[in-house]
Amino acid sequence: MPTHIELEFSNEPFEECKESVIVSITDVHGRQQERVRLGVVDAESVYKKIEAKEPVTLDLRYVKDFSLKTYRETRSLGKDEVIELPDFSASWAYFDGIEPKDFSHSEFTGTVTSFANSLFGDGPLSFFTAKFNASMTDFSLSHFGAGAANFQYASFKSKTISFDQALFETGDIHFVNCDFGDSNISFREVNFGIGKVDFHYTRFGKGLITFDKSIFGGGEVSFKRVDFGDGKVDFKRTQFGDGEIDFSEADFRSGKVIFRSAAFGDGNITFQEAVSTSDFIFDNATFGNGSLSFFNASARMLSFKLCQFNNYVDLRVNEVEKLDLSDTIVRDIIDLMPTSKAPVLMKQMVFSGMRNLGNLYIDWERNEVLDLILSQEETSQRQKSDQFLVLKETYNATGRYSDEDRAYIWYKRYELKADLEYSLKHNPSSAIWAYPTAFFKWLLFDKIGLYATEPLRVLFSVSIIYTLFSLLYLVLPFVADTYIDTGGGEVLADMNAVSKAFYYSAITFLTIGYGEFYPVGIMRFFASVEGYVGVFLMGYFSVAFVRKVLR
């Protein structure tokens, strides 16, 4: 949030300083945030300490027009000569002036380098190629005015680096090609302002990296080709604003990457070709109207639990062991279709509880969808059933009817298992009828016709059942007092037993009923059953056939 700074100069001494200044900081609403008295020192007195290689202490000091460029010029030093600043401390210091505030080509050594609570006035600020070699580097609660802040090519060898709660106003921020080594680096609750934030080509090591609760004000944010090292990367609860967010080709190595509860604005977000051997966690993150891309990215796991996607999401990854889209809301397209550059290799995909108001582009065979769902260990039968239903609906909406049939079959299979499981759990005594009912549904709907998705399978089942009834009519007269009688006629009387059994079975199964033959004895019961089965199966075949034709 932009602030307003007022200065009240006074001849009143402060500590060893002959003059002082009262610095009042107010927010955009006029509310006073800070009011502090600082001693006034001139830049030349600071230069003399630097020249004498003495520790520089500027705590509670106001310094105008400080510039190492000026220091080099007044001492006839090379423009790129490194200036050592041992035990440099500028807590609650105010660096002011019209000229750029220049700390470039400096080397901070000693125990602590502190700019905590420091204020940098409006105008450019440069730490270009600065080396922070002290044990700790502290920029926490520092205030950077309007103007670019340049940390390009800076190297940080401190064990701990803190920019916690720092405030950048309106200028661009450059951490391009920085080297943070194995330091623990914290940008917790930093307000990066409305300018561009660029960490392009920066290198991190094994330390923890945190941007927890930081705010990017709407400018472009680039972490392109950043080497995040092996440490944990924490962006949870970060607000990214409406600017373009670029993590393309970033290497996260083995560190877990957390964007849990982060808020992304309306800018496009890209992780194209990003690489990690660990996990990306976006659970409960909010996404605006920008697109999200993980094209050709690699990771152990991508987790988007409880997220809402309002625009196109490109998940055509290179390789991910597990993709978790549980309880997400999809309002546009999620693209998982393999390409020559992005094969979308996955071992497991979970999307139970998904509310799909858009479309899920995923190929049943090339994505090996069945294996992705059946390999889920943590989901129930009902959750697997619901996932197949989501696929069935999205395949229908996109006209991929063969894939829809496959998804529908597995949806019904797991629905049957889930219903049986529910019945047995809530009423164990229901096993007496639950198992036979489930078996009957499995045999009739699944095995005979694959839930009316395969008319040829139904026709084949019809042929098998017709043949079984025919053989039954052939065998029954040898074991019981029953037979097929004829209504008359020499041709009918001369038919052999096999022909008679198969012919009678056909006119009974198809309910033609010429009246030429009629059953006697127990065969009447089986004839009644066959007539009912025939009507049902022919109707079943008609439904499956018409369904195929209409598609």
The whole-number pLDDT of residue 497 equals: 84
Among 362, 379, 396, where does a domain finish?
A: 379
- Domain shared by 189 and 310, yes or no: yes
Residue 475 is assigned to a structural domain of this protein: yes
Residue 441 is assigned to a structural domain of this protein: no
How many domains are contained in the chain? Answer: 3
- Domain shared by 112 and 201, yes or no: no
- Domain shared by 157 and 180, yes or no: no
Range of the domain at 255: 175-379
pTM, to two decimals: 0.85
- Domain shared by 158 and 225, yes or no: no
pLDDT in tens, 370-422: 999 999 989 999 999 999 999 999 999 888 988 999 999 999 999 999 999 99
Among 379, 408, 425, where does a domain finish?
A: 379
- Domain shared by 141 and 187, yes or no: no
CB count within 10 Å of CB 321 equals 15
Q: Which of 314, 363, 354, 352 is nearest to 334 (CA)?
A: 314
Residue 432 is assigned to a structural domain of this protein: no
How far is it, in rounded angstroms, from Cα 420 to Cα 435? Answer: 7
The whole-number pLDDT of residue 431 equals: 87
- Domain shared by 200 and 332, yes or no: yes
Using DSSP, state whether 16 is helix, strand or coil: coil
Give the E-state strand segments of 468-513 in sequence order: 483-486
Label residues 521-551 b or e (16+ Cβ within 10 Å = b). eebeebbeebbebbeebbebbeebeeeeeee
Residue 450 is assigned to a structural domain of this protein: no
Residue 385 is assigned to a structural domain of this protein: no
- Domain shared by 139 and 190, yes or no: no
Residue 521 is assigned to a structural domain of this protein: yes
Among 341, 364, 379, where does a domain finish?
A: 379
The whole-number pLDDT of residue 30 equals: 62
Q: Does the pLDDT value for residue 50 go beyond 90? A: yes
pLDDT in tens, 117-174: 999 999 999 999 999 999 999 999 999 988 999 999 999 999 999 999 999 988 999 9
